[in-house]
Structure 1
Amino acid sequence: MSLWVLVPLSFFQLGVGCIIGFGLIFLSGIDRREKLSEFNNNVCVALWFLYVFSVFTSFGLVIYFYLIDSQASYYLWYLTQWIVLAVLVGYWRIASVKLA
Protein backbone atom coordinates (compact mmCIF):
# COMPACT_ATOMS: atom_id res chain seq x y z
CA MET A 1 0.00 0.00 0.00
CA SER A 2 1.44 3.33 -0.98
CA LEU A 3 1.64 6.36 1.23
CA TRP A 4 -0.86 8.17 -1.01
CA VAL A 5 -3.48 5.58 -0.09
CA LEU A 6 -2.44 5.10 3.53
CA VAL A 7 -2.68 8.74 4.62
CA PRO A 8 -6.24 9.44 3.36
CA LEU A 9 -7.38 6.04 4.63
CA SER A 10 -5.87 6.79 8.03
CA PHE A 11 -7.61 10.14 8.29
CA PHE A 12 -10.88 8.59 7.14
CA GLN A 13 -10.60 5.85 9.76
CA LEU A 14 -9.71 8.33 12.48
CA GLY A 15 -12.44 10.78 11.52
CA VAL A 16 -15.24 8.27 11.12
CA GLY A 17 -14.10 6.34 14.17
CA CYS A 18 -14.11 9.43 16.36
CA ILE A 19 -17.50 10.58 15.09
CA ILE A 20 -18.99 7.19 15.89
CA GLY A 21 -17.06 6.77 19.12
CA PHE A 22 -17.74 10.19 20.55
CA GLY A 23 -21.34 10.72 19.64
CA LEU A 24 -23.53 8.71 17.39
CA ILE A 25 -23.82 5.58 19.52
CA PHE A 26 -24.92 7.30 22.70
CA LEU A 27 -26.89 9.95 20.82
CA SER A 28 -29.01 7.21 19.28
CA GLY A 29 -29.42 5.63 22.72
CA ILE A 30 -30.67 8.92 24.14
CA ASP A 31 -33.10 9.44 21.28
CA ARG A 32 -34.61 5.97 21.66
CA ARG A 33 -34.91 6.25 25.44
CA GLU A 34 -33.62 2.73 25.90
CA LYS A 35 -33.06 1.63 29.47
CA LEU A 36 -30.21 -0.63 30.50
CA SER A 37 -29.47 -2.19 33.84
CA GLU A 38 -26.55 -0.85 35.87
CA PHE A 39 -24.33 -3.80 34.94
CA ASN A 40 -25.16 -3.65 31.22
CA ASN A 41 -24.61 0.09 31.22
CA ASN A 42 -21.17 -0.38 32.80
CA VAL A 43 -20.27 -3.03 30.21
CA CYS A 44 -21.37 -0.75 27.36
CA VAL A 45 -19.31 2.13 28.74
CA ALA A 46 -16.27 -0.15 29.09
CA LEU A 47 -16.73 -1.35 25.51
CA TRP A 48 -17.08 2.26 24.40
CA PHE A 49 -13.75 3.16 26.04
CA LEU A 50 -12.20 0.08 24.41
CA TYR A 51 -13.57 1.21 21.05
CA VAL A 52 -12.16 4.72 21.38
CA PHE A 53 -8.82 3.26 22.47
CA SER A 54 -8.84 0.87 19.50
CA VAL A 55 -9.42 3.77 17.08
CA PHE A 56 -6.23 5.50 18.14
CA THR A 57 -4.29 2.26 18.59
CA SER A 58 -5.09 0.97 15.12
CA PHE A 59 -4.13 4.33 13.64
CA GLY A 60 -0.80 4.28 15.46
CA LEU A 61 -0.03 0.64 14.67
CA VAL A 62 -0.64 1.09 10.96
CA ILE A 63 1.74 4.04 10.86
CA TYR A 64 4.31 2.14 12.94
CA PHE A 65 4.25 -0.96 10.73
CA TYR A 66 4.42 1.20 7.62
CA LEU A 67 7.45 3.08 8.93
CA ILE A 68 9.39 -0.07 9.83
CA ASP A 69 8.57 -1.39 6.35
CA SER A 70 6.92 -4.54 7.59
CA GLN A 71 5.92 -7.13 5.03
CA ALA A 72 2.84 -8.03 7.05
CA SER A 73 -0.62 -6.84 6.11
CA TYR A 74 -0.47 -3.85 8.43
CA TYR A 75 -3.61 -2.28 7.03
CA LEU A 76 -5.62 -5.11 8.62
CA TRP A 77 -5.10 -3.30 11.94
CA TYR A 78 -7.84 -0.98 10.74
CA LEU A 79 -10.29 -3.84 11.29
CA THR A 80 -9.79 -3.84 15.06
CA GLN A 81 -11.93 -0.79 15.67
CA TRP A 82 -14.74 -2.12 13.49
CA ILE A 83 -14.70 -5.48 15.28
CA VAL A 84 -14.91 -3.76 18.67
CA LEU A 85 -17.71 -1.55 17.32
CA ALA A 86 -19.64 -4.63 16.14
CA VAL A 87 -19.25 -6.22 19.58
CA LEU A 88 -20.41 -3.00 21.27
CA VAL A 89 -23.49 -2.59 19.10
CA GLY A 90 -24.31 -6.29 19.34
CA TYR A 91 -24.06 -6.30 23.12
CA TRP A 92 -26.08 -3.09 23.33
CA ARG A 93 -28.85 -4.60 21.20
CA ILE A 94 -28.92 -7.85 23.19
CA ALA A 95 -28.93 -6.01 26.52
CA SER A 96 -31.73 -3.65 25.49
CA VAL A 97 -33.89 -6.47 24.08
CA LYS A 98 -33.35 -8.66 27.14
CA LEU A 99 -34.47 -5.84 29.42
CA ALA A 100 -37.59 -5.00 27.41
Structure 2
Amino acid sequence: MAFYAYLLRCNDGSYYAGHTDDIELRIAQHMAGALGGYTAKRLPVELVWSDSFPSRDDAFAAERRIKGWSRAKKEALMAGDWELISQLAVNRQGPRSVG
Protein backbone atom coordinates (compact mmCIF):
# COMPACT_ATOMS: atom_id res chain seq x y z
CA MET A 1 0.00 0.00 0.00
CA ALA A 2 1.28 3.45 -0.89
CA PHE A 3 0.99 6.52 1.28
CA TYR A 4 1.08 10.09 0.07
CA ALA A 5 2.19 13.50 1.25
CA TYR A 6 0.48 16.34 -0.57
CA LEU A 7 0.32 20.11 -0.83
CA LEU A 8 -2.83 22.09 -1.59
CA ARG A 9 -3.15 25.70 -2.68
CA CYS A 10 -6.15 27.27 -0.97
CA ASN A 11 -8.43 29.95 -2.41
CA ASP A 12 -6.73 32.62 -0.28
CA GLY A 13 -3.30 31.70 -1.74
CA SER A 14 -2.09 29.86 1.36
CA TYR A 15 -0.76 26.30 1.30
CA TYR A 16 -1.86 23.24 3.26
CA ALA A 17 0.26 20.09 3.65
CA GLY A 18 -1.21 16.71 4.55
CA HIS A 19 -0.77 12.96 4.19
CA THR A 20 -3.09 10.07 3.35
CA ASP A 21 -3.32 6.53 2.05
CA ASP A 22 -6.01 7.47 -0.54
CA ILE A 23 -5.07 10.66 -2.36
CA GLU A 24 -8.18 10.83 -4.60
CA LEU A 25 -10.57 10.42 -1.66
CA ARG A 26 -8.69 12.88 0.54
CA ILE A 27 -8.64 15.61 -2.11
CA ALA A 28 -12.37 15.08 -2.74
CA GLN A 29 -12.98 15.40 1.01
CA HIS A 30 -10.99 18.65 1.14
CA MET A 31 -12.83 20.06 -1.90
CA ALA A 32 -16.21 19.22 -0.35
CA GLY A 33 -15.25 20.82 2.97
CA ALA A 34 -15.95 17.48 4.65
CA LEU A 35 -12.84 17.55 6.82
CA GLY A 36 -13.56 20.92 8.43
CA GLY A 37 -10.63 22.89 9.74
CA TYR A 38 -8.18 24.95 7.74
CA THR A 39 -9.11 24.02 4.18
CA ALA A 40 -12.90 24.08 4.70
CA LYS A 41 -12.70 27.84 5.27
CA ARG A 42 -10.51 28.40 2.21
CA LEU A 43 -12.36 26.62 -0.62
CA PRO A 44 -11.84 25.80 -3.34
CA VAL A 45 -8.50 24.07 -2.96
CA GLU A 46 -6.18 22.75 -5.66
CA LEU A 47 -3.72 19.87 -5.45
CA VAL A 48 -0.36 21.36 -6.45
CA TRP A 49 2.05 18.60 -5.38
CA SER A 50 2.03 15.02 -4.13
CA ASP A 51 4.48 12.19 -3.78
CA SER A 52 4.17 8.57 -2.68
CA PHE A 53 6.01 6.96 0.22
CA PRO A 54 6.42 3.33 1.32
CA SER A 55 4.97 3.86 4.81
CA ARG A 56 2.56 6.13 6.67
CA ASP A 57 5.44 7.22 8.91
CA ASP A 58 7.45 8.35 5.87
CA ALA A 59 4.48 10.28 4.42
CA PHE A 60 3.75 11.89 7.79
CA ALA A 61 7.43 12.86 8.19
CA ALA A 62 7.34 14.52 4.75
CA GLU A 63 4.15 16.39 5.69
CA ARG A 64 5.73 17.68 8.91
CA ARG A 65 8.88 18.82 7.07
CA ILE A 66 6.88 20.64 4.40
CA LYS A 67 4.66 22.36 6.99
CA GLY A 68 7.80 23.93 8.43
CA TRP A 69 9.03 25.22 5.08
CA SER A 70 8.82 28.80 3.86
CA ARG A 71 6.43 29.75 1.08
CA ALA A 72 9.40 30.06 -1.31
CA LYS A 73 10.58 26.55 -0.49
CA LYS A 74 7.07 25.10 -0.99
CA GLU A 75 6.90 26.81 -4.38
CA ALA A 76 10.31 25.39 -5.31
CA LEU A 77 8.99 21.93 -4.37
CA MET A 78 5.97 22.42 -6.64
CA ALA A 79 8.33 23.42 -9.46
CA GLY A 80 10.61 20.44 -8.79
CA ASP A 81 13.53 22.82 -8.32
CA TRP A 82 15.74 20.79 -5.95
CA GLU A 83 18.67 23.17 -6.37
CA LEU A 84 16.59 26.09 -5.09
CA ILE A 85 15.22 23.95 -2.25
CA SER A 86 18.79 23.22 -1.18
CA GLN A 87 19.76 26.90 -1.42
CA LEU A 88 16.74 27.96 0.63
CA ALA A 89 17.57 25.33 3.27
CA VAL A 90 21.12 26.66 3.62
CA ASN A 91 20.00 30.30 3.66
CA ARG A 92 17.43 29.62 6.38
CA GLN A 93 20.08 28.17 8.67
CA GLY A 94 21.80 31.54 8.70
CA PRO A 95 25.52 32.26 8.62
CA ARG A 96 27.80 29.49 9.74
CA SER A 97 30.71 30.17 12.01
CA VAL A 98 34.04 28.66 11.14
CA GLY A 99 36.36 27.48 13.79
TM-score (norm 1): 0.28
Structure with a larger share of its residues in strand: 2
Identify the structure with bigger relative contact order (alpha carbons < 8 Å, sequence gap 6+): 1
Structure with a larger share of its residues in helix: 1
Larger CA Rg, structure 1 vs 2? 1
